[in-house]
Structure 1
Amino acid sequence: MRSYFGVTLHTIIDDKYKTFLLSFERLEGKHTSDKLATEFDRITQLYNLKDKIVRLITDNASNNLAAFDNIILPGFDDYFDGIIDDSSESESESKSNDKETDDYAPAVGEEKQLQTHEADDSIYQTTLDSATEEEFLRLPCFCHCLQLVVNDGIKASAAAASSLQKVASIAKLSHSSTVFSERLEKFNYTIPRANRTRWNNQFQTVKKVIDIPSSILNLILSDLKKNDLILNSKDRKVLEEFVSLFELFNEATVLTQGESYATICLVAPTVLGILFDLERELGSSTLTLVSLCEALIASIKARFSGLLRYFEIDVPFNTYCMSERFSDVIFLISPLLDARFKLL
């Protein structure tokens, strides 16, 4: 397995948004904080950027894909048995290296616990000083924080597990049975192959399956003597609710991954929009996945408490260590400077 250290720069030149890839170098050996700080300092000095950087966005740890590895929807575990995807070859090696290469990766079970302390930013404080003592240069990656909220919700999806297991089995069948896939294709339906490390890829698989009308899907499954995989009305309702709740996060993830426009202005409107939509869903008398919705709301309030306090929204006393970084005023100022958002 080879590791690389990449740095991109986002700026405005002559009133135009610009993005540059400053460096993409192979990183050998242990990914210690000293090594990362030295490489980052080298890049900033090379381009004379040392005193020009406004904010630095990183993952919530130094090498840090481990926090988002194998986010699998409940019931999809068996889907990946015997499947080699784009991460499986390096999966075992990366797990064994995490403890010795990731200075700030949480210990087993630590990420699940709420914390009140500030994160250690010594790796960046050694290269660049913050504008003030209260202002941190480094901010957490918003998309990764969204994925952590999703992961919290997935853990509370027990009520949907059996229905999701059927979907996973149907999806696996579509890639192992030529007869099944050809029957689907005759009706212009296909089911994408799920990916172990991308929750939204598994989410799209669920959407594609429930988009197939019951009359077509159940008929094919019945003909193939796969009656145990038939989605009944209860399964459909649960899966539709599941998709409805996670669609908010899927849209936000896609929207905030843009490369040709500034995305930081989307953080506050996105967090507020998702929170209010979830609270509205929770107030519905017909909602089945109540525990899932409650878990998502609680996670948003805990992980983005620093931002939500500005809007006088009640948040838990104990929050995740990164949540206070979202109290940075840049998350409030940037939407005001974006013409897409206006005061009504």
Structure 2
Amino acid sequence: MEILQEVTKKRKAINEATNLPNSKKQALLTFSQKGSGASQATVDRLILNFVCSTLQPFSVVEDESFVNLVQCLAPGRSVMCRQTMAVRLKECYETLKKKLMAELALVSNVAITADCWSHFSRAYLGITVHWIDEETLQRKSAMLTIERLVGRHTYDILAAAIHKALREFHIHNKVLACVTDNGSNFVKAFSMFGLHSQTDVKEDKDNDDELEIVDVSSILDEGQNEFHYVLPPHQRCAAHTLNLVAVKDSQNAESDPAFKKVARSTFARCQALWNKQRSTVAADLVKEIFGKLLYTPCATRWNSLYDSVNCLLSVVQQHGEDMLDKLVDGLGLPRFRPAELAFLVEYAMVMKPLALALNILQAEKNMFAGYLQPTITSILRELGKKMNDSSVVYCRPLAKALHEGVDKRFGSILEDNKLTTAADLIPSLKFSWLEGQQKEEAVSSFKNEIDAFASGASSASVMTEENVNRDEEAIFLNILTTSVSPVLEEVNSYLMNSHSDLQCLQHYPILKSAFLKFNTSLPSSAPVERLFSVGKDVFAIKRGNLSDENFKMQLFCKVNYKI
């Protein structure tokens, strides 16, 4: 922009100073600017930034119109060729990688998310890394890597790729948790090689992934060096688990004959309407009547059925049931009965807590592990209200099925004292999500957890200082006098503090350290899903021959440009 403004000013000055024809004025302008303005290095850097940030193919630098544009804005400067572009991209990748490694070296705790993705008949494993800035307490995230997977995505292949990435970036001893979906290959990889993994080895029946049976004795054989992997603790994606509740556990409501009858008839009419909209003629009619197209469900997008029902209800509320009748009549479909429309209203009302929770837990910038327990607790409370609400006529069995599903899948999480402590370390939450006896027990548990954390931190600091040679009694007294009393005093002061801003933790060094430890992880693996969305833009339809290495480097530079 600055270069363009400078060119404009010089052109205006020349036009005012001369009465030459336009062609000669342009020639004079080009001559006067030759060798001036932006340097060649600046032009090269801007071109590289343009290609990476807008996800352009490398061949754009050889396009005649692009070359003319650059040379017009920076006369006398050359435009790099496609091969040079690839070299500069690699240099940029190496520079960003070193900066990321340097930043991660200063962090004590990180968390990662991982998932598999396929495009153009190629499979990849994507990994993102997340940490909390120790000064500002703000969430930071970056792409770690995206590696090509050849063959089947078995547990040992995934373990090897994750292990390699963590070693490459020297964070293998800093990862508090790796968040993945409920795929059996990921579950088994961390069951076999994870440290203190909370996942079980049994097959998850809600997943279509095949669970491979292997001989454990062969894995433990010392000669099998390829199995010597060490993975961090595993954490299942809460958003994916909630989606399983909405899709799988909700089917248990069909054990009630009345619910099953009205649900199947209602969704049959909805599905017929959504299917019709795929044709251009039907889509034109929908847009003519409602002013916009209806959302349609997508099997791979969480919350899509709820969003589609909500969209249908919103246009009916805005335009009236008569317009809906007009639409289905025009499409040759049967009309919705009043009971079916009432069912959709109740369905949206019952499913709303799950939908809101999914939106909350898939956040990244202002999301911490401590939000998981309060969110799940809120879901259970809201579903409990719906179960006892006399106004809920059709969907009471659905509310019960969802309540049982959430309780079954998140039962162990709700009993995890560390997650409770993580929630209470967030000043805006701080026990406000608990009620009655639960609140009193949580306060006592919080003090014990922080005391244990501070004692462990003090023990570590004692062993790293020059007093290693002190006897056990001296170390014990040092811990008592330097950590226990200040901890209780700091906790009591925190509990009395009414500030809800995260920055208030700056006044409590022990609690701040605990916050960094307990809240670094994320509840869901949504960040790596967003990475794949960008990857699809890089790996566009006309770039099917893009090499795996160039794909990884361009995606890395695009996602991590803020570094």
Partner of 1:9: 129
Q: Amino acid of the residue matched to residue 178 of structure 1?
A: V
Q: Does residue 440 of structure 2 align to residue 334 of structure 1?
A: no
Instruction: Report if aligned partners of 1:124, 1:138 keep a CA contact under 8 Å in 2.
Output: no
Larger deviation: 32-41 or 170-179?
A: 170-179
Larger deviation: 207-216 or 293-302?
A: 207-216
Q: Does residue 237 of structure 2 align to residue 141 of structure 1?
A: yes
Q: Structure 2 vs 1, CA of residues 124 and 141 (structure 1 numbering), >3 Å: closer, same or farther?
A: farther
Structure 1 residue runs of 4 or more that deviate by more than 6 Å after TM superposition = 122-125
Distance 1:275 1:250 in 2: 13
1:30 match: secondary structure: coil
Q: Does residue 185 of structure 2 align to residue 44 of structure 1?
A: no
Distance 1:263 1:224 in 2: 47
Q: Structure 2 vs 1, CA of residues 58 and 105 (structure 1 numbering), >3 Å: closer, same or farther?
A: farther
Partner of 1:303: 409
Q: TM-score normalised to the size of structure 2?
A: 0.44
Partner of 2:180: 58
Larger deviation: 236-245 or 260-269?
A: 260-269
Distance 2:139 2:330 in 1: 56
Larger Cα-atom Rg: 2
Q: Does residue 269 of structure 2 align to residue 197 of structure 1?
A: no
Per-residue CA distance 1:100-126 (angstroms, 9 max, x = gap)? xxxx7937x5769xxxxxxx9x99994
Per-residue CA distance 1:223-253 (angstroms, 9 max, x = gap)? 5543x1x112101111111111112111111
Partner of 1:255: 360
Distance 2:363 2:286 in 1: 37
Instruction: Report if aligned partners of 2:125, 2:147 keep a CA contact under 8 Å in 1.
Output: yes
Distance 1:125 1:267 in 2: 33
Per-residue CA distance 1:19-60 (angstroms, 9 max, x = gap)? 011111111112222222221121111111121111221222
Distance 1:293 1:210 in 2: 20
Distance 1:62 1:221 in 2: 43
Q: 1:279 aligns with which of 368, 380, 384?
A: 384
Q: Does residue 303 of structure 2 align to residue 215 of structure 1?
A: no
2:176 match: secondary structure: coil
Partner of 2:348: 243
In structure 1, runs of 5+ residues without a counterpart are 66-103, 113-119, 130-136, 311-326
Instruction: Report if aligned partners of 2:160, 2:229 keep a CA contact under 8 Å in 1.
Output: no
Partner of 1:28: 150
Q: CA RMSD in A?
A: 3.0
Partner of 1:293: 399
Q: Structure 2 vs 1, CA of residues 223 and 146 (structure 1 numbering), >3 Å: closer, same or farther?
A: closer
1:55 match: secondary structure: strand
Distance 2:347 2:128 in 1: 35
Q: Amino acid of the residue matched to residue 247 of structure 2?
A: N
Distance 2:181 2:249 in 1: 20
Q: Structure 2 vs 1, CA of residues 218 and 177 (structure 1 numbering), >3 Å: closer, same or farther?
A: farther
2:175 match: secondary structure: coil
Partner of 1:106: 203
Deviation at 1:64, TM superposition (A): 6.2
Distance 1:46 1:195 in 2: 37
In structure 2, runs of 5+ residues without a counterpart are 1-120, 188-200, 209-215, 221-225, 255-259, 433-563
Q: Structure 2 vs 1, CA of residues 235 and 124 (structure 1 numbering), >3 Å: closer, same or farther?
A: farther
Partner of 2:33: none
Q: Structure 2 vs 1, CA of residues 191 and 125 (structure 1 numbering), >3 Å: closer, same or farther?
A: farther
Deviation at 1:190, TM superposition (A): 2.1
5 Å-filtered alignment, 1:153-168, equals 153-155=249-251, 156-157=253-254, 158=260, 159-168=262-271
1:18 match: secondary structure: strand
1:304 match: secondary structure: helix
Q: Give the percent of matched residue pairs that are identical in Structure 1 and Structure 2.
A: 23
Instruction: Report if aligned partners of 1:190, 1:208 keep a CA contact under 8 Å in 2.
Output: no
Larger deviation: 204-213 or 236-245?
A: 204-213
Q: Structure 2 vs 1, CA of residues 222 and 31 (structure 1 numbering), >3 Å: closer, same or farther?
A: closer
1:23 match: secondary structure: strand
Q: Amino acid of the residue matched to residue 338 of structure 1?
A: I
Distance 2:181 2:402 in 1: 21
Deviation at 1:203, TM superposition (A): 2.1
Instruction: Report if aligned partners of 1:175, 1:193 keep a CA contact under 8 Å in 2.
Output: no
Distance 2:132 2:379 in 1: 29
Greater share of helix: 2
Q: Structure 2 vs 1, CA of residues 210 and 55 (structure 1 numbering), >3 Å: closer, same or farther?
A: same
Q: Structure 2 vs 1, CA of residues 184 and 50 (structure 1 numbering), >3 Å: closer, same or farther?
A: closer
Per-residue CA distance 1:280-313 (angstroms, 9 max, x = gap)? 00001232122211111111111111133x4xxx
Per-residue CA distance 1:175-206 (angstroms, 9 max, x = gap)? 32525633543442421233233352222222
Q: Structure 2 vs 1, CA of residues 10 and 330 (structure 1 numbering), >3 Å: closer, same or farther?
A: farther
Distance 1:151 1:64 in 2: 21
Distance 1:231 1:126 in 2: 57
Q: 2:279 aligns with which of 156, 171, 176?
A: 176
Q: Does residue 355 of structure 2 align to residue 233 of structure 1?
A: no
Per-residue CA distance 1:139-194 (angstroms, 9 max, x = gap)? 11111111111123431352412101111111222232525633543442421233
Distance 2:369 2:395 in 1: 31
Instruction: Report if aligned partners of 2:423, 2:429 keep a CA contact under 8 Å in 1.
Output: yes
Q: Structure 2 vs 1, CA of residues 343 and 194 (structure 1 numbering), >3 Å: closer, same or farther?
A: closer
